[in-house]
Amino acid sequence: MVAGLVVIALTGCGPTGSASATGGKPDLNGIWQAVNTANWDLETHAAGPGPAQLGAVAAVPPGLGVVDGGAIPYLPEAVAAKANNVANRWKDDPELKCYLPGVPRATYMPYPFQIVQSPTSLMIVYEYAGAARIINMGGTEAAPIDSWMGWSNGKWEGDTLVIDVTGLNDQTWFDRAGNHHSDVLHVVERYTLASPDVINYEATIEDAKTFARPWTIKMPLYRRLEPGAQLMEFKCAEFAEELLYGQFRKQQVGQAR
């Protein structure tokens, strides 16, 4: 019996222990959120105005960049598209339309997300637009088709969860500042527990049609510690209906019915 207990201690194989619930891997289960301004602009930026009628509510909060080395290495021919996106950012950003955010943008939007990790499966669920990703743990299959959230193959490198993401379409932006990419985007994400309540997150972005070389963003992700913390439902399609379909309305909003 003593020998048995020793075995339990050595294998970490208890009835409710975290190790058995995650197949002996680091436990990333929880609700996480970035606390930065990357969703407004991945690069360092000063404060700026938003749509005038919304005043300070929609102003751009200033922030330090998350791009390793400071600047995104656009190819010369990709710079014009970025400038055009900036000029039309309050009209063309897919976030305005409640479109799925893609990877890595889903990670640093100003909404929490939940990692659901079992011994054999891993799913990431985002509050924004109810976006979800199934991570194919141990998978090496190529993306069967392009999609908004891409195709994710995951593996453990030591204590780091590494997710290789391909099959991302070219419809998403990286941020509200119009940073963009093509359909050959390849993202490698790395999730490493730095402490029980902090994940060090890195994403290396490779896109030979858009960037001169791969580049990396880095940021901490913080555990939401409030008692009862949970993802809330944010099915924002409903809130984008006027924007998308208002032109087809029988009578415009505000007119007498």
Partner 1 sequence: MTCLRMRASLIALPLLWLLLAGCSGNTSRGGVARTPWGDPDLEGTWNNATLTPLQRPPALASKEFFTSDEAAAYIKDRLEQSNVDRRPQASGAAPNVGTYNDLFFEREPKVVKSLRTSLVIDPKDGRIPQLVPEAQARLDAARQRLALHPADGPEDRSLLERCLLFSAGGPAMLPEGYNSNYQIVQTPRYVVVLIEMIHDVRIIPLDGRAHLPANASTWLGGSRGHWENDTLVVETTNLRSTSRGRSGIGMSDEHLRVVERFTRSDATTIAYRATVEDPTVYTTPWTIEISLDRAKGPILEYACHEGNYGLAGILSGARAEENEAGTRGKVR
Nearer Cβ to partner 1 (159/241): 241
User: Under rule CB under 8 A, which residues in 86-145 are in contact with partner 1?
Assistant: 98-100, 114, 116-123, 125, 129-132, 134, 136, 144-145
Alpha-carbon distance of 223 to 226, in angstroms, equals: 9
User: Under rule CB under 8 A, which residues in 156-185 are in contact with partner 1?
Assistant: 171
Q: How far is the CB of 154 from partner 1 (least distance, A)?
A: 13
Q: How far is the CB of 132 from partner 1 (least distance, A)?
A: 5
Alpha-carbon distance of 50 to 35, in angstroms, equals: 20
Alpha-carbon distance of 143 to 51, in angstroms, equals: 38
Pairing of strands 198-206, 186-195: antiparallel
- Per CB under 8 A, 255 contacts partner 1: no
Nearer Cβ to partner 1 (213/250): 250
CB 144 within 8 A of CB 167: yes
Would you call the peptide bond into 104 cis, given omega within 30 degrees of 0 as the criterion?
Answer: yes
Half-sphere exposure of 195 (CA within 13 A, CB side): 6
- Per CB under 8 A, 33 contacts partner 1: no
- Per CB under 8 A, 235 contacts partner 1: yes
Pick from 219, 225, 215, 187: nearest CA to 202: 219
Applying CB under 8 A, the span of 52-60, 79-87, 204-212, 234-242 interacting with partner 1 comes to 234-242
The angle subtended at Cα 84 by Cα 81 and Cα 85, nearest 5°, is: 85
List contacts with partner 1 (CB under 8 A). 1, 4, 7-8, 11, 13-16, 20-21, 23, 29, 98-100, 114, 116-123, 125, 129-132, 134, 136, 144-145, 147-149, 171, 228, 230-233, 235, 237-238, 240-241, 244-245, 248-251
